[in-house]
Structure 1
Amino acid sequence: MEGFLYQATIYLAAAVIAVPIAARLGLGSVLGYLAAGIVIGPVLGLVGHETHDLQHFAEFGVVMMLFLIGLELEPRALWDMRHRLLGLGGLQVVITMLAVMTGFVALGYAWQVALAVGMIMALSSTAIVLQTLSEKGLIQTAGGRSAFSVLLTQDIAVIPMLAFLPLLALPTLGLEANPDGSLNRTAMEADAAHSLSLVEGLPGWGVTLVTLGAVAAVILTGIYLTAPVFRFIHAAKLREMYTALALGIVVGIAFLMNLVGLSPALGTFLAGVVLANSEFRHELESDIEPFKGLLLGLFFITVGAGIDFGVLVKAPVMILGLTAALVLLKGAILYMIGRAFKLRRRRLMLFTLSLAQAGEFGFVLLSFSRQQNVIPPVLAERLLLVIALSMLITPLLFLLYDWLSKKMGDPAAEAAEADEIEDQGPVLIAGVGRFGQIVNRLAQSSGVKTVVLDNNLRTIEVMRRFGFKGYFGDPTRPDILRAAGLEKARVLVAAMDAPAMVTQLVHYARKQRPDLHIIARAHDRRHVYELYQAGADDIVRETFDSSLRAGRYVLENSGFSDYEASKLEQAFFHHDRQAIRELAELWEPDVAADKNPEYVKRAKELERDLEASLQAILSENDDAVA
């Protein structure tokens, strides 16, 4: 017990000291965790071999992180990503795997060993990349979404890789020389012990059926069983039971995925996607988030603490050279693929630099390769260090991205580089400033899917930091409107700050879609007339409702009752709407309103009608009181 408390104290103290310092220096929390692990491990020797065992437990942070990411994705959004998953992700995995394999064959290794190393090095660090993207508010950018697509493809690719690796085993590997010169096969304890499995010993078709059954069980449980269980827990009125249930869902799904030989991270991600539309989504997020953060931090510390600098000292040139070659090779491949998929400038730099390392699933594949006698022990030790060092370099690559991003100038000036729009929905909102954001929040909170466009990159970035998805681009450009789903949308909200842009958008949208319902933001009365002629259905003056409410407060504090003030406010609102429609028919764009006799005459008549209408309401109220 004392040993456990000592180790826990060391890990927690290292994190508490190193991470705030790294964050204060602008280096990010991941680099702080890695540095803390290096200090308490290789430098001071405060922790030892138990870090490898602890790492398997800490990997649950990755599992929880993918569960939370799944909760943010609706099934439709995942389907919309299919081209990136198969294109960006598939190409990255295959090309990197073949390139690394070619390099190791050139170094003299058997093709089986080279192919296994290629599989291991094709993977990137889901934990470090997604954590850093989230901290920097970059996960919803075009580069961030592309990186996420590749990471998700890599996690899926782990499954066939694990199935294929045993086929690469060489009979001469795993043999060690005895003192007398004879050879003796060494069996690892992991080979001797049989773990729990639902598919062990089954024929191929049986494994397939059991695997599909497990996936179906996860989906059906998420759809039909989660809500009744949450309601049952709610009846207990104990906050900790929600946390226990949330952890039980994640742990249970991870265990089930292990039983059928699938990736626990992939299984929990699938469960998160299934529960994305659940009424308990936010409850699950709040319960899992603290555990995810602590376990991820612990995982990064164990990576730093597990670096064996003794192996580095024995062959520094080879290991550092392999690490540099891996980062440069993956970076070059990612750069070419990114350009092929039309990523440019910041987006391309972010995509290239964020994924140019090996990942935590590489540890899993490397360990499995050793057990299956695919990779020699000496090479495995060196590759383990290469993976750890490349992960350690990743925060520095993000710092390089920050520096390059600043050198590229003002992000807002890149108007031509609009985001690639992946979503479509029934409501398209153009402009999400102080006006459009309220419309968007009300619609989304009511369960209405919206697609948000804005030509101010900083506005979009602020939205993303608060968890709202939006796309950077000019809402008046026809190609962007088509990509956002103008042809299928039911409602268009034109809410930009610039009146001319709003009028231009309304005119174009009405021409393209006569059946589309258009709601437009008007700057003033003149702008209302322009929008009316352009074809808007509902026109909202940006200060009208607030001014009307202020007028009601004036009446309430001038001797009128709350009821009278409310009736007068409603009468004024309805009269003004009707008056605007009538005057819009008489308004001429090239003639000032006071120079248009018919317009002036009708405006005076309508004003007298308004006074008469309000006085009639007050008289009716007096009669009712009498």
Structure 2
Amino acid sequence: MLGAALPAVLLFRRFGLGAVLGYLLAGVLIGPQVLNVVGDADGKMGFAEIGITLLLFLVGLELNPRRLWDLRREIFGMGLAQVVLAGLTVTAVVYAFTGFTPAAALALGLPLALSSTAQVLPLLRSAGRLHTRFGERAFSILLFQDLSIVPLITVIAALSRAPADANAPPGWLLGLYTIGAIILLVLAGRFILSPALKLIGRLGEREMFVASGLFTVLAASALMEALHLSTALGAFVAGVMLADSPYRHELEADVEPFRSILLGLFFLTVGMLLDLSAIATRPLFVIGLAAALILVKTLVLYGIARIARMERRSAFALGLLLSQGGEFGFVLFGQAQTALLIKPEAASLFSAVVTLSMATTPFLMSLARRFGGEEAGAKLRGLAGPEEAEQAAAIVVGHGRFGQTVAQMLLAHGMSLTIVDLDTEIIDIGDRLHIKIYYGDGTRTELLRQAGAEEARLICFCIDGEQPDADTLRTIQKAFPHAKLFVRLFDRRHDLALRGIEMAGAVREVHESAVSMGRQVLETLGVEEAEMDRIEEDYRERDRRRLDAQHEEGDIRSARAMALMHRPGQLGVSLDEDEGTAM
């Protein structure tokens, strides 16, 4: 399964279509209906679903109870409205155009109202928008959708035509079980798990963090499953109860690889379970219903967002972002099939609708960025935009570790500053330290104009990653020709990509610190000051000449010989990009 996933995911990533579609295609190819090299897809789904629980655990780790309380209106307001309105509207569409019974249409329509947490959250995180006001609202709706799995399963069970399960508790008892289980998990986290993590941290046993993280997720999920509740809900609560733990980042780093692989296996298994013959007989139905699903959910979410006083562009972007079907739909279709509400062919057909709608997510995300007017949404939270800033001599874009140093040195010189950042957590930290940081995307020309860039002497881009790109800098340079541009470069590839752009200064983010550490190492070895100066000068000259050669030839692999720094007769050390360095 992993062997099939590797080329498929790499190919889909290469064309910007996302890993999820690569996993789905790989599952189809190795499944029983194409190559048939892997069997028992139903059995594999059991452990593959652990990937979803791990995803919800990691989401919970990012949300301490205080932040959850702050988002209560979005979660139980916008989230509830989206699930109910979109679910009933999609149910009406399914009933009107398919001929299913009302019970079957409801069992299909409600799951289609859910969106793909596994797709949307990583996209928001990689785009740096998860902690923006826009991202928080998208997350709140996704979170309520995940929490609604239990009531949706209850609805399907109430409509079931299958013989009643004598062991299943009644609905009112499930509600009490849910409250009791959450209280139990919170108490266990405070009085058992937190002291255990402190002990593990004191002993310094790294593998025990892995064991404790996985145990926490699996134990919480097993408890919920034993009570006939959502395993994903148990994992989420387990994450929330550890969100304030000082070992949160350790747990997150240790659990993430398991989450990635198991979530990939989940989508692989979904691809294996797709009934291609049922889809081939009605391809227009699948395409048409997928298009209708996207349209209906976009319009419903747009209306809800407008009622919540979101700006039009942001509301439309939110609708597009959450318009696809979600992975929990596959689970609920299975429940509907077990309840004898739909046939296996219908489950495969609607699974294909969800899959096709998920295939549009990368394109819809790209379109959503064009409509993502987040600054308007930011004002609803009380965040100041750069238009409120007084005219300053310099603009610093990005106030992370790098930007803080630049800003402090400029302030020490007595220079007036306007600081802009897109991360609301950084803005909150700045407020606590009495540092005014304005909210916004500092790579946008219009926002820089609002920040006073037309009269500023300097614009310093201190953003993490390979941004801004060459086109963005050219636009900014043309709009503000009197401002000197300084750019934090990610690595030499970023450096080469910006060659030809007139910048007053550019620094590769780890270059100078690496040179400084190299001098410290040489000093510890007893190397004389003059020799250290010679080595540093030689290294910088070689690096500069190599960059020039790579730029002229347009090839990162050019001038490899210049990267060999050694004395005659000693083994050379290659600094080629392909061999590991990104400096």
Identity of aligned residues (%): 38
List aligned pairs for 1:422-571, cutoff 5 A.
433=396, 437=400, 459-461=420-422, 464=423, 469-470=425-426, 492-494=434-436
| CA distance in 1: counterparts of 2:347 and 2:376, whole angstroms | 47
1:266-415 pair list within 5 angstroms: 266-344=233-311, 347-401=314-368, 404=370
CA distance in 1, matches of 2:305, 2:271: 30
**Alignment partner, residue 146 of structure 1:** 137
Which residues in structure 2 correspond to 1:4-83 (within 5 Å)?
11-41=1-31, 44-83=34-73
Distance change (3 Å), C-alpha of 1:415 and 1:257: closer
Q: TM-score, structure 1 length as denominator?
A: 0.60
Q: 1:599-618: per-residue Cα shift (whole Å, max 9, x none)?
A: xxxxxxxxxxxxxxxxxxxx
Q: Which moved more, 1:242-251 or 1:348-357?
A: 348-357
SS, match of residue 138 in structure 1: coil
Paired residues of 1:41 and 1:47 also in contact (CA < 8 A):
yes
Residue in structure 1 matched with residue 184 of structure 2 by the alignment = 217
| Aligned-partner SS, 2:435 | strand
For the residue of structure 1 that corresponds to 2:421, the secondary structure is: helix
The CA distance in 2 between the partners of 1:416 and 1:163, in whole Å, is 39
1:113 equivalenced with 2:104 (yes/no): yes
Q: 2:229 is paired with a residue of what secondary structure? A: coil
- Which stretch of the first structure deviates more once superposed, 305-314 or 345-354? 345-354
Report the aligned-residue RMSD: 3.8
Q: Secondary structure at the match of 2:16?
A: coil
Contact 2:154 2:171 in 1 (8 A): no
Contact 1:311 1:382 in 2 (8 A): yes
TM-score, normalised to structure 2, is: 0.64
Say if 1:35 and 1:304, in contact at 8 Å, map to a contact too.
Answer: yes
Contact persistence 1:363–1:384 (CA under 8 A): yes
SS of alignment partner, residue 469 of structure 1? helix
The answer on whether the counterparts of 2:134 and 2:377 sit within 8 Å (CA) in structure 1 is no
Contact 2:20–2:264 at 8 Å: present in 1 too?
yes
Q: Which residue identity lines up with residue 188 of structure 2 in the other structure?
A: T
Residue 398 to residue 43, structure 1, CA distance change in 2 (3 Å):
farther
Greater mean deviation of Cα atoms: 62-71 or 43-52: 43-52
User: What's the offset of the Cα at 1:150?
Assistant: 0.9
- Native 8 Å contact 2:182 2:234 kept in 1: yes
Question: 2:209 pairs with 221, 237, 242, which one?
Answer: 242
Q: Describe the shift of the 1:210–1:98 C-alpha distance in structure 2 as closer, same or farther (beyond 3 A).
A: closer
The residue aligned with 2:149 is 158
* Cα separation, partners in 2 of 1:32 and 1:401, compared to 1, 3 Å: farther
1:42 and 1:308 in contact (8 A); partners too: no
Matching residue of 1:132: 123
The yes-or-no answer on 1:87 pairing with 2:77 is yes
Question: Contact conserved, 1:66 with 1:269, CA < 8 A, in 2?
Answer: yes
1:457-489 alpha-carbon deviations (Å, 9 max, x no partner):
xx534xx4xxx7256xxxxxxxxxxxx899xx8
Structure 1 unaligned blocks of 5 or more: 1-10, 175-186, 195-199, 443-453, 472-483, 503-626
Taking the aligned partners of 2:353 and 2:244, their CA distance within structure 1 comes to: 41
- Distance in 1, matches of 2:347 and 2:221, equals 27
Retained in 1: the 8 A contact 2:103–2:159? yes
CA distance in 2, matches of 1:435, 1:320: 43
- 1:376 to partner: Cα distance: 3.9
Measured in 2, the distance between the counterparts of 1:338 and 1:388 equals 26
Given that residues 47 and 305 in structure 1 are in contact (C-alpha distance below 8 angstroms), is that contact kept between their aligned partners in structure 2?
no
**Letter paired with 2:234:** G
Range moving further from structure 2, 214-223 or 56-65: 56-65
Say if 1:34 and 1:392, in contact at 8 Å, map to a contact too: no
In 2: Cα distance, 1:111 partner to 1:163 partner: 17
Bigger-Rg structure (1/2): 1
Show the 5 A alignment for 1:161-240.
Answer: 161-170=152-161, 200=167, 207-234=174-201, 237-240=204-207
Aligned-partner residue type, residue 133 of structure 1: L
**How big is each residue's C-alpha offset from its partner over 1:8-58, in whole Å with a ceiling of 9 and x where there is no partner?**
xxx222332233333333333333333433444488525454333323322
Matched position secondary structure for 2:360: helix
The CA distance in 2 between the partners of 1:78 and 1:272, in whole Å, is 12
Q: For 2:120 and 2:376, how far apart are their aligned partners in 1? A: 27
In the TM superposition, what is the alpha-carbon distance from 1:95 to its structure 2 partner?
Answer: 0.7
Structure 2 segments unaligned to the other structure (5+ residues): 406-416, 443-447, 453-583
Aligned equivalents of 1:121, 1:417: Cα separation in 2: 27
Question: CA, structure 1 residues 314+205, in 2 after alignment: closer, same or farther (shift >3 Å)?
Answer: closer
Q: Separation in 1 of the partners of 2:324 and 2:397? A: 41
Change (3 A) 1:202 1:363: closer
